[in-house]
């Protein structure tokens, strides 16, 4: 599957100079212009303008102008120690959870190198036991003690994610009925679980944020029942194409075989490209939600409910055509649509956010028996429960990858999903948490993880995520900007104001100029005192999504701030204006911005929608 499965809008960066005055203080402001052009120009512009400016790590907040030099706080430096936490499930030959293991029973490897265990606790039902190692000898100190005060890290965080883009309403409601008992049993007074409900349709919605209340979660998943079900509406449009393909295959003759093959291939490509677009939309949305979880401590269990996702959207239809037209080579074209790397990227992202995926294929038990009311042809298998679904097991392969690489379990090909839900309950009720100081830094690279048992009898199985990513601060901000294009979440401690100026049409072009002015309170910007002035730096990140779901790259710009000491008293009563000028086509846009105070190491996130000359 090519990267152009969902093409991004093309944007072009350029700078202009604008002056804004506050009394005697004058600022030079850079603006950003964004314009749709061909991708190679975009790549060139990013190479030229994309580098961030380096800045000092020392900082302190605004001193009063009259304060004496010796009273001003000096810059401080922070050494960051990265502790990687890994949740481990251990089972015996019968599949039962193994409890009572100690730190010395575990060996953890990162990129093949043995690491020293620094943190350890065991979850046994509603109890949590902590065991530490002696700092001098490295030997454990017996016995493990119950954790009296629970931290946010050890609470179970369970997310119910309904992908209505790939979920038939009948299958969805059947799954919800099964989930209701699970929610009643695991949430409420005396439980150590927080739940969230998320639904993907035309847009991604958080129907219920993290809560321990089972009643609120039940209300949210019942809200999902009332949704129209995007999968059903799209399936109707594809069904005609399936029927036409089956008709061509059944009616073709030796004389028309070549002509019919070319016609069938054209229709098959249209079908596959629609499937590809649906898959990319679902994966992009799930990816955005994962970034939405940035900053939430501890392991998250994400129960992903769908009718399955294709690892290769073309596999079924091209295989069918090769059987119908032996002279063709449709399968040779299928590799162009392979989505394996998209799923690998998704699982790496899950591991970066400590998310374990537990996919449920809501189609239930699948049989290879032809339905009595269907014609022979492509995609006509039935399910044991009689519910409507596509009839192929290829949808399950991707779900298995999602589960296995994140330390989860896939619930597939069964009408009794209660047994699978019991496995999920056992996973968060009986597991170990191992922590170690990672030798890797925030390098945006994947690092493999392996956990081995030592000093225990054979036959135990260890289940753990396969690795993790440590995102750099810059990459984390960009991912949060993208996430907020799908799921709005404002965070604006600096009280930055946004002004959208009237659009202006560009002479000789269909584009319009969209100017966004950011007003940043100077009193909230961290500044460093120098001999004659105060200096600071802000960075602005911006990304756009149009009504078709196409997304721009996240553009990053830096702006140095300099305030002469003689003007400081006036400046702190004013706003620092920053203007982003974007050239866009008429349409409706979602705009996501981040403003980072570099010295203060704080980031603000703002989002809004804007209709540009749509009337």
List every span in the chain annotated with CATH 2.60.40.10.
3-78+473-612
Kindly state the percentage of the chain with pLDDT values over 90.
37
- Lowest-confidence segment of 132-136, 173-177, 543-547 by average pLDDT: 132-136
With 0-12 CB in 10 A as exposed, 13-18 as middle and 19+ as buried, what is 200? buried
Answer whether the bond into residue 143 is a cis peptide, omega within 30°.
yes
Who wins on pLDDT, 32 or 268? 268
Q: What is the pLDDT of residue 536?
A: 93
Residue 543's pLDDT is: 92
pLDDT for the residue 399: 95
Residue 141 has pLDDT above 80, yes or no: no
pTM of the model: 0.72
Q: Region 510-516: what's the mean pLDDT?
A: 87
315 vs 538: which has the higher pLDDT: 538
Rounded Cα–Cα distance for residues 411 and 419 (Å): 9
Instruction: Count Cβ atoms below 10 Å from residue 289 Cβ, excluding itself.
Output: 22
DSSP states of 136-192: TT--B-SSPEE-SS--GGGSEEEEEEEEGGG--HHHHHHHHHHHHHHHHHHSSTT--
For 577, counting Cβ atoms within 10 Å of its Cβ (0-12 exposed, 13-18 middle, 19+ buried), the class is middle
Give me the pLDDT at residue 476, please.
87
Q: Give the range among 86-95, 134-143, 354-363, 378-387 with minimum mean pLDDT.
A: 378-387
**122: which strand partners?**
129, 432
Q: Is 558 exposed, middle or buried (0-12, 13-18, 19+ CB in 10 A)?
A: middle
Of the candidates 580, 527, 583, 576, which has an alpha carbon nearest to the alpha carbon of residue 556? Answer: 580
Confidence category of residue 155, pLDDT binned at 50, 70, 90 = confident
Q: How many Å apart are CA 356 and CA 224, to the nearest integer?
A: 22
| Residues facing residue 577 across a β-bridge | 519
Nearest to 417, CA basis, from 57, 111, 76, 174: 174
Q: What is the DSSP letter of 587?
A: E
- Alpha-carbon gap, residue 517 to 111, rounded angstroms: 46
CATH 3.40.50.410 intervals, the chain: 154-430
DSSP 53: P
Closest alpha carbon to 435 in 461, 468, 474: 468
Q: Which two tokens stand for residue 237?
A: 């449009």
Distance between CA atoms of residues 8 and 551, nearest Å? 5
Tokens of 596: 């980072």
Tell me which of 104-108, 168-172, 384-388 is least confident. 384-388
Specify the CATH number for 154-430; select among 3.40.50.410, 3.30.390.30, 1.10.3720.10, 3.40.50.720. Answer: 3.40.50.410
Nearest residue to 544 via CA among 520, 580, 509: 580
pLDDT given at position 180: 96
Are 605 and 534 spatial neighbours (Cβ–Cβ below 8 Å)?
A: no
243-258 pLDDT, tens digit each: 888 888 888 888 888 8
Q: Extract long-range pairs of 441-445: CB within 8 Å, 24+ residues apart.
A: 441/82, 441/470, 442/82, 442/470, 442/471, 442/472, 442/473, 443/470, 443/472, 444/469, 444/470, 444/471, 444/472, 444/475, 445/469, 445/470
Amino acid 67: pLDDT: 43
pLDDT at site 365? 79
Name the pLDDT band for 187 (thresholds 50, 70, 90). very high
- Max mean pLDDT among 17-31, 102-116, 359-373, 455-469 falls in 102-116
Q: Which CATH superfamily is domain 3-78+473-612 in?
A: Immunoglobulins (2.60.40.10)
Residues 6 or more apart whose Cβ sits within 8 Å of residue 332: none
Mean pLDDT over 393-410 rounds to: 88
Q: What is the pLDDT of residue 513?
A: 87
Tell me what the mean pLDDT of segment 28-56 comes to: 30
Q: Which residues contact 478 (CB under 8 A, 6 or more apart)?
A: 541, 543, 554, 556
Give the strand order in the sheet containing 83-91.
145-146, 127-130, 117-124, 430-437, 83-91, 461-463
Q: For 301-351, what is each residue's pLDDT tens digit?
A: 999 999 999 999 888 888 888 888 887 788 888 888 999 999 999 998 898
Residue 106 has which token pair? 């575990």
Spatial CB neighbours of 125, under 8 Å, sequence gap ≥ 6: 429, 430
């Amino acid at each position: 599957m090519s990267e152009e499965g969902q093409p991004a809008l093309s944007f072009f960066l350029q700078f202009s100079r604008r002056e804004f005055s506050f009394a005697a203080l004058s600022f030079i402001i850079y603006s950003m212009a964004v314009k749709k052009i061909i991708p190679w120009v975009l790549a060139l512009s990013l190479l030229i303008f994309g580098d961030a400016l380096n800045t000092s790590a020392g900082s302190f907040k605004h001193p009063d102008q009259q304060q004496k030099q010796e009273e001003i706080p000096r810059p401080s430096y922070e050494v960051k120690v990265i502790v990687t936490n890994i949740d481990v499930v251990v089972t015996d030959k019968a599949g039962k959870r193994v409890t009572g293991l100690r730190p010395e029973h575990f060996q953890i490897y990162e990129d093949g190198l043995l690491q020293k265990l620094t943190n350890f606790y065991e979850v046994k039902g509603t109890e949590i036991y902590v065991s530490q190692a002696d700092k001098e000898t490295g030997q454990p100190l017996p016995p493990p003690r119950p954790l009296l005060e629970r931290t946010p890290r050890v609470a179970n965080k369970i997310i119910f994610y309904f992908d209505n883009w790939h979920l038939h309403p009948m299958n969805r409601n059947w799954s919800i009925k099964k989930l209701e008992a699970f929610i009643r049993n695991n949430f409420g007074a005396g439980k150590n679980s927080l739940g969230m409900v998320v639904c993907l349709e035309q847009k991604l919605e958080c129907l219920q944020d993290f809560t321990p209340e089972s009643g609120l979660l039940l209300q949210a998943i019942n809200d999902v029942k009332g949704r129209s079900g995007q999968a059903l509406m799209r399936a109707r449009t594809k069904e005609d194409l399936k029927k036409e393909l089956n008709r061509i295959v059944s009616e073709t003759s030796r004389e028309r075989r070549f002509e019919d093959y070319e016609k069938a291939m054209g229709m098959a490509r249209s079908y596959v490209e629609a499937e590809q677009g649906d898959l990319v939309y679902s994966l992009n949305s799930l990816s955005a939600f994962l970034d939405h979880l940035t900053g939430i401590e501890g392991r998250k269990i994400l129960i992903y409910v769908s009718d399955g996702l294709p690892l290769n959207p073309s596999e079924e239809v091209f295989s069918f055509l090769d059987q119908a037209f032996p002279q063709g080579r449709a399968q040779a074209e299928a590799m162009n649509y392979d989505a394996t790397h998209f799923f690998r990227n998704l699982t790496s992202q899950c591991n970066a956010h400590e998310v374990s995926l537990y996919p449920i294929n809501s189609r239930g038990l699948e049989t290879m028996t032809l339905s009595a009311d269907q014609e022979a042809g492509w995609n006509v298998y039935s399910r044991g429960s009689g519910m409507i679904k596509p009839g192929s097991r290829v949808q399950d392969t991707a779900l298995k990858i999602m589960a296995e690489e994140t330390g989860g379990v896939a619930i597939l090909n069964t009408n009794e999903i209660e047994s699978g839900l019991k496995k999920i309950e056992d996973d968060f009720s009986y597991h170990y948490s191992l922590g170690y100081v990672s030798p890797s830094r925030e390098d945006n690279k994947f690092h493999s993880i392996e956990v081995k048992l030592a000093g225990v009898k054979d036959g135990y199985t260890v289940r753990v995520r396969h690795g993790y990513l440590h995102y750099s601060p810059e990459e984390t901000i960009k991912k949060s900007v993208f996430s907020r294009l799908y799921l709005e979440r404002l965070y604006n401690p600096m009280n930055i104001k946004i002004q959208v100026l009237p659009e202006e049409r560009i002479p000789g072009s269909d584009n319009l100029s969209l100017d966004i002015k950011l007003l940043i309170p100077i009193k909230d910007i961290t500044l460093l005192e120098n001999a004659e002035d105060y200096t600071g730096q802000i960075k602005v990140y911006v990304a756009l999504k149009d009504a078709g779901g196409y997304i721009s790259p996240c553009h990053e710009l830096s702006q140095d701030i300099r305030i002469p000491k003689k003007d400081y008293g006036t400046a702190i009563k004013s706003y620092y204006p920053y203007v982003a000028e974007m050239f866009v086509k008429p349409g409706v846009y979602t705009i996501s911005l981040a403003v980072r105070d570099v010295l203060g190491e704080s980031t603000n996130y703002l989002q809004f929608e804007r209709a540009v000359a749509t009337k």
